[in-house]
Amino acid sequence: MTHQELTYFKDLILKKRVEMLKDLGHIEQQSMNTTTSESSGGSSYSDHMPDLGSDAMEREKAFMFASRDGAYVTHLDKALERIVEGTFGICRACGGEISKERLEAVPNATMCVVCKSEEDRKKRKV
Ligand SMILES: [Zn+2]
């Protein structure tokens, strides 16, 4: 996946996340600053958008874990983490690429359509 595509999906996920937080009645001022600075260990309480995995975001997560929508937000957070890690859009089952169409519909998808339907089929059998 190209850098542009990653940026595109990152924006997409951030927007979905903001919408979701609005639905939850819990919206924090969200800067659309797309730079991801690598935190050099230690926790930093900056006034800027919290880095992924920062203390602020951890607190936010803890707050939202209770609800189903909150769980979805954490899925989006995980997708953002995968963008940072460089594993976004890669199927965790077969290692293949997840189609862009699928990622647009389900940006937090971790499996390609083939593996996902395979898994669903297995689940149904059990
Ligand atoms: Zn797959």
In a domain, 36, yes or no: no
In a domain, 31, yes or no: no
Q: What's the 85 CA to ligand 1 centre distance in angstroms?
A: 19
Q: What pLDDT score does 52 carry?
A: 55
Q: What's the 87 CA to ligand 1 centre distance in angstroms?
A: 13
User: Sorting pLDDT into bands at 50, 70 and 90, what band is 63?
Assistant: low
Sign of the Cα torsion 68, 21, 107, 82 reads negative
- CATH for 101: 1.20.120.910
Q: 23 with 69: CB under 8 angstroms?
A: yes
Per residue in 37-47, pLDDT tens? 444 444 445 45
Domain encompassing residue 66: 3-24+52-125
Q: What's the 39 CA to ligand 1 centre distance in angstroms?
A: 32
In a domain, 32, yes or no: no
Task: Round to whole Å and give the CA distance between 59 and 4.
Answer: 30
In a domain, 58, yes or no: yes
Task: Round to whole Å and give the CA distance between 17 and 52.
Answer: 13
User: Sorting pLDDT into bands at 50, 70 and 90, what band is 86?
Assistant: very high
Q: What's the 94 CA to ligand 1 centre distance in angstroms?
A: 4
In a domain, 19, yes or no: yes
In a domain, 100, yes or no: yes
In a domain, 65, yes or no: yes
Element (H, E) at 18: helix 3-23
Number of domains in the chain: 1
Task: Round to whole Å and give the CA distance between 75 and 13.
Answer: 10
Q: What's the 114 CA to ligand 1 centre distance in angstroms?
A: 6
In a domain, 47, yes or no: no
Q: What pLDDT score does 44 carry?
A: 47
Q: 24 with 51: CB under 8 angstroms?
A: no
Q: What's the 35 CA to ligand 1 centre distance in angstroms?
A: 30
User: Sorting pLDDT into bands at 50, 70 and 90, what band is 122?
Assistant: very high
Task: Report the candidate in 110, 104, 105 with the shortest Cα–Cα distance to residue 81.
Answer: 110
